[in-house]
């Protein structure tokens, strides 16, 4: 049996077999590296039921091929929080992994607003929404910031398309200019009034995105929550910090919780079976971290309501 045929067989076991016995070892010792260096281009069905095209040289698409999902703890959090009729705001939507999931959760009377500046990702997202008949998604091609203007985005590693950032890396693979606007201007008042979760993943631009959202916070529901990926290293290069974000949102009545997000593929089988809920953030993150901001003041937030 060739290595590629073996990889297809093992991937089928990892993706479809019940339980998690042996899956972490298969992924960590062979499948992840093989699929990275021997890319598969195909269409896969996600756990949400949607079909998307993937190329496994990219880490996000590789994990979708292997597991049918990206970031299982965040995916579980969104499934738990979103209900029919809700609105989900996906800032830094990439190719729409969370937008498609949310589209099912909020139902035909709910709304999903995707905010994505990259022309390629925006086109991929809208194509996926159309192909999967997701009619409740409104796609906005813009970067979230605190001003109206233009911003240059950079891609350093074509094997990690999700790491497209406004902070210029040492080695630039691709650069392109995009429009910027404050989040408060990109989201309509009816959308704000029904928003349950706002997810912000903007690779170092999160401080500016939060500042652009502040005027809208008063119009959100009391149970609205934010999920923000903070990147201390990239923030520091701009004179910003995760502590500034935490303090600013705390001044607006929002408490910070840490949501585990481990990019080691060997952790995925277990995380998908037993997702971890957010725990109180007691220390300012020093590394890239997903933070949930909620008006609930507790030791942790619960899943499985």
Q: Which tens digits make up the pLDDT trace of 262-282?
A: 999 999 999 999 999 999 999
Q: Which tens digits make up the pLDDT trace of 59-76?
A: 999 999 999 999 999 999
Q: Which tens digits make up the pLDDT trace of 192-225?
A: 999 999 999 998 899 999 999 999 999 999 999 9
pLDDT at 24 over 70: yes
Give the C-alpha separation, 173 to 154, whole Å.
Answer: 7
pLDDT at 187: 97
Higher-confidence residue of 95 and 153: namely: 95
pLDDT at 49: 96
Q: What domains, with CATH codes, occur in the chain?
A: 3-65 (no CATH), 69-294 (3.40.50.150)
pLDDT at 5 over 70: yes
pLDDT at 90 over 70: yes
pTM (predicted TM-score): 0.94
Whole-number Cα distances in Å, 99 to 50, 94, 126, 300 = 11, 9, 10, 25
pLDDT at 166 over 80: no
- Region 24-33 average pLDDT: 96
- Computed over every residue of the chain, the mean pLDDT equals 94
In contact, 110 and 86? CB cutoff 8 Å? yes
Give the C-alpha separation, 185 to 121, whole Å.
Answer: 21
Which parts of the chain are beta strand (E)? 41-45, 51-55, 87-91, 111-115, 137-140, 143-145, 149-155, 164-165, 174-182, 195-200, 225-230, 255-259, 279-280, 289-294
pLDDT band at 154 (very low <50, low <70, confident <90, very high): confident
């Amino acid at each position: 049996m060739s290595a590629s045929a073996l990889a297809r067989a093992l991937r089928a076991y990892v993706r479809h077999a019940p339980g998690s016995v042996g899956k972490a070892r298969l992924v960590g010792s062979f499948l992840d590296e093989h699929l990275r260096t021997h890319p598969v281009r195909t269409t896969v069905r996600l756990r949400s039921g949607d079909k998307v095209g993937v190329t496994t040289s990219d880490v996000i698409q590789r994990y979708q091929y292997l597991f049918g999902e990206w970031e299982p703890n965040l995916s579980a959090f969104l499934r738990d929080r979103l209900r029919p009729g809700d609105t989900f705001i996906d800032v830094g939507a990439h190719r729409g992994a969370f937008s498609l999931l949310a589209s099912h959760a909020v139902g035909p009377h709910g709304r999903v607003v995707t905010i994505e500046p990259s022309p390629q990702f925006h086109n991929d997202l809208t194509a996926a929404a159309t192909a999967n008949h997701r009619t409740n998604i409104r796609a906005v091609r813009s970067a979230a910031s605190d001003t109206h203007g233009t911003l240059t985005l950079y891609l350093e590693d074509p094997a990690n398309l999700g790491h497209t950032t406004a902070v210029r890396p040492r080695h630039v693979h691709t650069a392109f200019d995009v429009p910027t606007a404050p989040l408060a201007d990109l989201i309509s008042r009816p959308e704000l009034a029904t928003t349950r979760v706002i997810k912000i993943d903007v690779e170092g631009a999160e401080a500016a995105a939060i500042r652009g959202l502040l005027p809208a916070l008063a119009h959100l529901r009391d149970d609205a929550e934010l999920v923000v990926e903070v990147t201390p290293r990239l923030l520091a290069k701009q004179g910003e910090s995760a502590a500034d974000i935490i303090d600013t949102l705390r001044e607006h009545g929002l408490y910070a919780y840490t949501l585990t997000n481990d990019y080691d593929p060997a952790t995925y089988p277990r995380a998908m079976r037993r997702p971890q809920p957010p725990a109180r953030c007691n220390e300012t993150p020093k590394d890239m971290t997903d933070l949930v901001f909620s008006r609930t003041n507790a030791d942790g937030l619960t899943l499985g309501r």
